Amino acid sequence: MTTSKPTILIVDDEVRSLEALERNLSDEFDVQVAENTADAEQILADHWVQIILCDQRMPDKSGVEFLTEVREKWPDVIRIIISGYTDANDIISGLNEAGIFHFVTKPWHPEKLILTLRNAVSMFDLQRQNELLAIELRLSERAAKKKVGDRRQKLRESYDFEDGIVRGKSSPMNAVCNTLSQVATYDLSVLITGERGTGKALAARAIHYNSLRWNKPFAVQKCKSVPPEVLEGELFGYNKGAVPGAVQNYSGLFECSYGGTVLLDEVCDLPPEFQVKLLRALEDREIRAVGATQARGIDIRVLASSYKDLKTEVAEGRFREDLYFLLAGVTVQLPPLRDRREDIPLLANFLFKQAVANLRKDAAGFTPEAISCMKRYCWPGNVREMQNEIERMLVMGVENDLLGAELLSPKVLMSASPDEEDDVAILGVGQGTLKERVEAIEAKILRESLIRHRWNKSKASRELGLSRVGLRGKLERYQLEKKEDHA
Ligand SMILES: Nc1ncnc2c1ncn2[C@@H]1O[C@H](COP(=O)(O)OP(=O)(O)OP(=O)(O)O)[C@@H](O)[C@H]1O
Ligand SMILES: [Mg+2]
């Protein structure tokens, strides 16, 4: 670490002794000399001294006394006593009070002395590195804490009820969000139900980040297809050796989330064997790690999500009623996307921006036709399905271009014709004669093929095995034409 010559200060009242030391050491060290302790102090104040080599017997004070003072004012300096007499008491007080690195006896041997001084220099360097690292650690801990705090704040903002949960002005999601925001600040358990992909996990996060626990952990435990013994270990923790492969103690999710919120995701699939253990832990507010004898207190708010109707699960004996009441302090039902079509264009744009950021590929947005196709589709997989659809469109589309309906998957394109807002599934065309129903399906196939070929009739007729004239006839009959809907 020290690049130039290390600085050494020699303090000795005997001038001859000083000169001899200086002569021997000046090749390797930048030598400063002082005949008394006052001069020595001045040099220490003016120079960056690494090592001080001090005679023990001086007229004003002893070397150990002086180095004790040096230790207080310049604790970094490595202190060495040089002495003709090695009194045991001097050595002991030297070690204890002055923190002496070494005692050199007179007469000294030049090579041995240089070796001792080199060791002292490397000691000094190590000491400095240690101090710098300690400062770095202190700084990095502070920086890490600040980073975590900043991120939590950002997260909190992104789960704001106003814009974190995207929805239209008269969407049924408004009532849902009102309930969520009302229950958020109370330490109530909330059961969030809804079809797959409707935003149950998002609702749970929004509750947490709008609650008083927002700056504490939020954790999710999946309950589906997890064996009961694994769930127990994951949630309650385990002791070293208590479960196969446990090489050290593990604090479970409940303990790690102390003060925060835990979402039991798809709680309807919680194994019956574990339901009673969970009930006991939540009721008693304490857990016992697998293999532990002592119970430990927990402080968590529990949220649960379910894609099945949990009341039916209770009625049919698959879910404990007492656990149900404990989890469902309040129940919030998320409506499927097909019941809130007004949200679709807004969600499409929101998910598009997310996809652009995640995939680092840009596009100019959607064509009106693409939006109107999305609005008509039934989205059985709800928002998650839409998210996947949009990511795929962005990947397949031309960079910086508009994303057209032709990029949508056939199932979306095959959805209802433009004039039938509520026609949701192609084979769900449930009324009319056989001829009428077959024709309805034929119209959907034609429309899907035309959109995919960007209304290029030659390509569509080739694909469908029709002549151009034949295709035109059908288009007229079904009144199919390219419409620039402004959804
Ligand atoms: N209203 C909304 N506004 C913005 N993003 C949404 C909305 N609803 C859902 N999402 C997003 O859609 C995705 C799926 O939602 P989420 O995971 O919360 O649904 P889920 O009901 O828990 O689904 P699953 O049943 O698949 O677990 C997430 O990325 C979520 O952020
Ligand atoms: Mg989920």
> Can you name the residues that pair with 219 across neighbouring β-strands?
262
* 101 C-beta closer than 6 A to ligand 1: no
pLDDT along the chain (487 residues), means of 10: 79 92 93 95 93 91 91 90 78 79 87 92 87 79 83 86 91 96 93 97 95 93 92 93 85 93 96 94 95 93 96 95 96 96 96 94 93 92 97 94 92 66 46 83 88 89 92 87 56
> What confidence tens digit (pLDDT) does each residue in 210-269 have?
999 998 999 999 999 899 999 999 999 999 888 888 888 899 999 999 999 999 999 999
- Ligand 1 centroid–CA 339 distance in Å is 16
Q: Which ligand is nearest to the CA of 332?
A: 1
* 220 C-beta closer than 6 A to ligand 1: no
- Ligand 1 centroid–CA 196 distance in Å is 9
d(CA 79, CA 282) in angstroms, rounded, equals 61
* 166 C-beta closer than 6 A to ligand 1: yes
pLDDT at 309: 94
d(CA 264, CA 304) in angstroms, rounded, equals 5
State the amino acid at position 411 in one-letter form. K
- Ligand 2 centroid–CA 203 distance in Å is 10
Pocket mutation for ligand 1, best pick of 193, 383, 385, 388 (most atoms within 8 Å of C-beta): 383
pLDDT at 467: 92
Q: Which ligand is nearest to the CA of 390?
A: 1
Task: Give me the sign of the Cα torsion angle 429, 432, 434, 435.
Answer: negative
- Ligand 1 centroid–CA 413 distance in Å is 23
- Ligand 1 centroid–CA 385 distance in Å is 9
pLDDT at 25: 93
Pocket mutation for ligand 1, best pick of 384, 386, 387, 391 (most atoms within 8 Å of C-beta): 384
Closest atom of ligand 1 to 204 CA is 18
Q: Which ligand is nearest to the CA of 334?
A: 1
pLDDT at 319: 96
User: What predicted TM-score, i.e. pTM, was given to this entire model?
Assistant: 0.68
- The domains found in the chain, sorted by start residue, are 7-129 (3.40.50.2300), 160-335 (3.40.50.300), 338-478 (1.10.8.60)
Q: Which ligand is nearest to the CA of 203?
A: 1
Q: Which of 306, 228, 308 is nearest to 266 (CA)?
A: 306
pLDDT at 484: 53
Q: Which ligand is nearest to the CA of 194?
A: 1
pLDDT at 142: 80
- Ligand 1 centroid–CA 162 distance in Å is 16
What is the SS3 string spanning the chain? CCCCCCEEEEECCCHHHHHHHHHHHCCCCEEEEECCHHHHHHHHHHCCCCEEEEECCCCCCCHHHHHHHHHHHCCCCEEEEEECCCCHHHHHHHHHHHCCCEEEECCCCHHHHHHHHHHHHHHHHHHHHHHHHHHHHHHHHHHHHHHHHHHHHHHHHHCCCCCCCCCCCCCCHHHHHHHHHHHHCCCCCEEEECCCCCCHHHHHHHHHHCCCCCCCCEEEEECCCCCHHHHHHHHHEECCCCCCCCCCCEECHHHHCCCCEEEEECHHHCCHHHHHHHHHHHHHCEECCECCCCCEECCCEEEEEECCCHHHHHHCCCCCHHHHHHHCCEEEECCCHHHCCCHHHHHHHHHHHHHHHHHCCCCCCECHHHHHHHHHCCCCCHHHHHHHHHHHHHHHCCCCCCECHHHCCHHHHCCCCCCCCCCCCHHHCCCCCHHHHHHHHHHHHHHHHHHHCCCCHHHHHHHHCCCHHHHHHHHHHHCCCCCCCCC
- Ligand 1 centroid–CA 382 distance in Å is 8
* 198 C-beta closer than 6 A to ligand 1: yes
pLDDT at 1: 46
Closest atom of ligand 1 to 334 CA is 21
Closest atom of ligand 1 to 173 CA is 1
- Ligand 2 centroid–CA 252 distance in Å is 21
